[in-house]
Structure 1
Amino acid sequence: MGDKKSAYERFLDGFLGGVGDWDNHLAEAIHEDENPYLKNQMLKILEEQEEFGDAINFGLGREIWYSNDFFINSLILDFITAAENDNNAEDDLVNELKLIWVGMLGKLGVDVEAINMDDGFEGYLITMHFGMELDIQFISELVAYHVYGRKIKDLRERAQLLPEMAKLLWFLVDKEALIKEATELAQSEADQQVDRNSPRVHIASHLFEAGMKFVLGHEIGHHFLKHTETNGRNIVSKFIPTDVTFDQMHLDEFAADNFGFDLLIKGKKERNNNELLAPLMVILMLALYDKTPEEPSQYHPSLRNRYLNLLSKVSDHNEEIAANLQQIFDEVATWINRTFYDGYWKTEWWK
């Protein structure tokens, strides 16, 4: 056991472009003489991370143990703390969570993967493309605008939110537009002020954190449910949804979704409804990359069935909340579909 390399070392050895500290890597890649404003912004982020780390990690600042990304490291720490505080948690869950390591890669695309186990390494390796985190942020902000707008009675005031929603949708479906916007912002010294006390910003923040946790929890589920073992895939029976499919690979995805959902809400006495909305929101984001979300692929069940399965998980928690979140999902999906002249999807797959 002592001779084995860690998942962290496996990531650095096996993945081109892999770095030990993602945020610091981004900061170092910006040359102060070329863009002093952006350099200063990145240094501010590192400073804020240092202060946050001091507050939650007993003064250890930006020390990271479970990812090369500071934010993801904090999310894994949240999982561990929740498991430690949950009297119903399995005895070995905390120790298993401490074997997780997530490597951020500087690539676009909504890719995140639980890497198959290798007997030569210790721990569970997960890789995530930066594009996944970026798109979860965009869909979180888009949905937050809608959730916030539902509380505004003045229709004209509510309509003023639509241009920002359309802009976020465009960033999700057209990465060339995103790159152009990012380039223009990088060359500008205009300070992009964010009102952190805004209810809409709070909604977006909750959705983003919970969305990231669900995605990570899904991949952790693949590891913990033995889907990545070298001796073949193994389903834990209690996580298998009934009457959905008999395809082994599809069952694995439902099981991982259920595991990710349960991990998201584990150990919490009070749950924010946005936490329960976030897994559904992630499915909507994935549907933007799928013209036929009602149809399964070789390795994945249909996004429609994954959505309905997760909706049933919410319903098990609270039927009234599930009905409300289903209505929100329907409204956002319908708006996306109608934003495009011929419709974004061929069917209203979510109904």
Structure 2
Amino acid sequence: MKALVCNAFGPIEDLKVEDVESPSAGPGQVVVAIKAAALNFPDALIVQGLYQVKPALPFSPGAEFAGVVKTVGEGVSHLKVGDRVMALVPHGGLAEECAVDARGVIPLPDDMDYATGSALLLTYCTSLHALKDVAKLAAGETLLVLGASGGVGIAAIEIGKLMGARVIAAASSEKKLALCREHGADETIDYVRDDLRERVDALTEKRGVDVVYDAVGGAYSEAALRATSWGGRLLVVGFATGEIPRIPLNLALLKEREILGVYWGDWAKRNPKLQQAHLLQLLDWFRNQQIAPPVTEQLPLAGAVDALQRMAKRQVRGKVVVLIDK
């Protein structure tokens, strides 16, 4: 089978599409013939050795995909060959086939195509957990989303609106902000052109925002924290700028602000019943056309390297999906 392979940690351009041995389904596993795999920012980090997890070499990046069950391992009874499914894995999704723990495989709804299914789980589950469980976002509050045109950012916009918040989306270009407005943002800020804190003050009559969803890091984190109201909450989701900020802790003290970490993957393992409830909620919202994963590009496997390079440079919007059999 063909797979995008990382043979050594280093530049993204070193990744190659290679012929590798097809996986087999061990006990408790299924092998999925992958139809579509979504790219996420951690994929660009993990191949460079910059992520908190370093897989054994060689490996294929790719954490979420949708496809068809090809083979079923011993002990698996709830899935059968031919089932349409979506799945999350630590890595291995940018390949024609992947062996995965059957407990992490989810039936793909009949009204959901493979590209959409591949783009739903990681970003929407992260954002729902962040806003509901960590921030406890309440109706009537104001939510500021940094990096709002990315996969998790668009998910945060849509979910924030469904939870009754006023949503301010911040991104680095008018084209990105247009996508944010398409997905429901009430107000937008171009934080390359405008001063972030000044724009927040203007949009909130200097009251500040209640919650910041920060998947960007760098200098924007401190500016956003300064723009929160009394009791404001800063959600630490990721560091797309590549810079982990050093925030003066007196900013937390001055207005009893909270700095809250979001680690959905580990939380989901610790809270499987709550995660299942979240997933059912997301599928219900999808069926009711209240969320729409923002698939902006669909590429063949050969185009994944270029897309990952552009993602690392923050040059993509929404979700880029690789069509494996294209």
Which TM-score applies when normalising by structure 1? 0.27
Which TM-score applies when normalising by structure 2? 0.28
**Higher strand proportion, which one?**
2
Q: Which has the larger radius of gyration?
A: 1
> Which structure is higher in RCO with an 8 Å CA cutoff and minimum separation 6?
2
